[in-house]
Structure 1
Amino acid sequence: MNNQRGGTAAVDTAPKPDFWYGLPHGYLELDFNPTEEGVAELARQISGLPEEARDRADQAFRLYAMTALLLQKQPVAVCALGMHPDGNGEASLSVLTISVFPSGGANPLRVLASMVGDNAGGNANHGMQPIELPVGVGFLIEQVRKTVAPGVPPEGHEGPLEGSVWQGTVAVPEPRTSSIITVQLVTSAVELADDYRSVLLGTARTLTFKDPTAEADQGPGPVAPGSAAQAVQSDFG
């Protein structure tokens, strides 16, 4: 557990978070609303790199800029990139996002409950299953799907390459704003799905609609069962 942060569905001059969450170890939050000054400073730093490193850094910068533009068009409140050892001496990459979807004025719990009926008989790879969270009931959806693999296809290969990814999502109803908050984790390390499921559920258990800084202002005290503090202790140590 790194720290407790707030998230909001919209950006304004002084946003008050609609929810708070914790990021697991090994995840770095991506700023997809950078200031012009921040972008200019990053470009300046890249231009000052040695020539052998400049091209690679410039490619990463362009990828970051493209990703930021795509995220700005989606209801994504949080995006974090993860890098962890995979047990074979290599790095396993994953993307963690938290998004907010309006339910159109309908009761978000009823919307999700009706989806469970439509996806009855779900298993570890498909379907939708209710789960208990500190904030109440949530719904877990998992799937292994095909997607376009990053990189340039080998010479002579027609069309882009495809690869498999594991995608896990926890959907949480938020009755106060008639919204559905989703915590989603995607990785190409399909063989590590059990580990990433634990990370996904651990993150979802830190989700809270109560400002944890208000509790901190009251001074230390006993950890209440079902509180965000207990979720942090249980899931991230």
Structure 2
Amino acid sequence: MNTTAAPSGDAASGAAEPAFWYGIPHGYAKLDLDPPRERIEQLVRVLNTLPAEQRAQASQVLQFYAGMVTTLNAQNVHMCAVGYHPDDDGTIVTSTLTISTVPTSGHNAKLVIASLAGTAADDPDTGMRPLELPCGLGYLAEEKKRTVAPGRDPESLEGPLRGDVWQGTVAVTGSGTPDIIVLQLVTPALHLADVYRDILLGVARTLTFTDPTKPVPTPDKPPAGSAEAVMRNDFG
């Protein structure tokens, strides 16, 4: 997995300090949720040079991407990645992995998670189950549902495309953030639900509120900037 970080606070505020870190599985490509204006303008210029038929198709794709980015940012999504993996029959199966934060509106996030995890333990028929993760207590929820698929104008006479998907959700919180962190994986490959559940849980187990790039403090080497480190520097 490739380790990456999520910024603390509102992504639009330009906050640079990460609040938590996580790994992205192989086979997933991250979408740029904050594309530079220059890149969009360049895409529009390229689009305008295409033949009329190709230009119309490319315009729909660009509009879909712009709308999706706007929606994801409005929902506090910090990361969105699309997965492409070969199936046993030689076809390609797709999935979408997102990591977002949900404010608790003044409530204690740990208490909220503990309450939901307790509900999952007491009533397994809810489709939820509690999780003990390295970063803390969380829960897993999964369901199969019918949803609107991209690819057709929802206002057309034929109506929107619909398809069945498997959706897995992990929610967790920790000392690094007052919010609930939500990891969600969605795929139309219902027959691979067990595989994608393992992928989702694998990502959840990488979630950490401690910067993995920093060295682990040891008794012989206290954290930089700590009182003990300062005293050692001053007194040898």
SS of residue in 1 equivalent to 2:18: coil
Equivalent position of 1:173 in the other structure: 173
Per-residue CA shift, 1:114-166, capped at 9, x if unaligned? Answer: 2234444326xx5221112111222111111111133338xx97643432111
Equivalent position of 1:132 in the other structure: 132
Per-residue CA shift, 1:70-100, capped at 9, x if unaligned? Answer: 1121121111111111222221111111111
SS of residue in 2 equivalent to 1:151: coil
TM-score of the pair, normalised by structure 2: 0.79
Equivalent position of 1:206 in the other structure: 206
- Mapped contact 1:9–1:99 kept (Cα < 8 A): no
Q: Assess, with a 3 A threshold, how the Cα gap between structure 1 residues 159 and 56 changes in structure 2: closer, same or farther.
A: closer
Per-residue CA shift, 1:157-178, capped at 9, x if unaligned? Answer: 7643432111101101224432
Distance in 2, matches of 1:158 and 1:56, equals 18
SS of residue in 2 equivalent to 1:41: helix
- Mapped contact 2:152–2:160 kept (Cα < 8 A): yes
Please identify, of 11-20 and 111-120, the stretch whose mean Cα deviation from structure 2 is larger: 111-120
Equivalent position of 1:227 in the other structure: none
SS of residue in 1 equivalent to 2:39: helix
Equivalent position of 1:13 in the other structure: 14
Distance in 2, matches of 1:151 and 1:171, equals 30
Q: Does 1:114 align with 2:120?
A: no
Quote the offset at 1:113 in angstroms: 2.3
Equivalent position of 2:193 in the other structure: 193
Please identify, of 94-103 and 47-56, the stretch whose mean Cα deviation from structure 2 is larger: 47-56
Equivalent position of 1:36 in the other structure: 37
SS of residue in 2 equivalent to 1:42: helix
Q: Assess, with a 3 A threshold, how the Cα gap between structure 1 residues 4 and 51 changes in structure 2: closer, same or farther.
A: same
Quote the offset at 1:51 in angstroms: 7.1
- Taking only aligned residues, the RMSD between alpha carbons, in angstroms, comes to 2.7
Distance in 2, matches of 1:130 and 1:179, equals 18
Distance in 2, matches of 1:164 and 1:107, equals 35
The one-letter amino acid paired with 2:124 is G
- Mapped contact 1:185–1:200 kept (Cα < 8 A): yes
The one-letter amino acid paired with 1:122 is P
Which protein has the larger Cα radius of gyration, Structure 1 or Structure 2? Answer: 2
- Mapped contact 1:9–1:75 kept (Cα < 8 A): no
Quote the offset at 1:48 in angstroms: 5.0
Structure 1: state its 5+ residue gaps.
Answer: 219-237
Distance in 2, matches of 1:44 and 1:215, equals 47
- Mapped contact 2:5–2:21 kept (Cα < 8 A): yes
Q: Assess, with a 3 A threshold, how the Cα gap between structure 1 residues 14 and 111 changes in structure 2: closer, same or farther.
A: closer
Quote the offset at 1:20 in angstroms: 0.8
Q: Assess, with a 3 A threshold, how the Cα gap between structure 1 residues 214 and 175 changes in structure 2: closer, same or farther.
A: closer
The one-letter amino acid paired with 2:21 is W
TM-score of the pair, normalised by structure 1: 0.79
SS of residue in 1 equivalent to 2:210: coil
The one-letter amino acid paired with 2:107 is A
Structure 2: state its 5+ residue gaps.
Answer: 219-236
The share of aligned pairs that are identical, in percent, is 47
- Mapped contact 1:168–1:197 kept (Cα < 8 A): yes
Distance in 1, matches of 2:212 and 2:85, equals 28
- Mapped contact 1:4–1:212 kept (Cα < 8 A): no
Q: Assess, with a 3 A threshold, how the Cα gap between structure 1 residues 104 and 137 changes in structure 2: closer, same or farther.
A: same
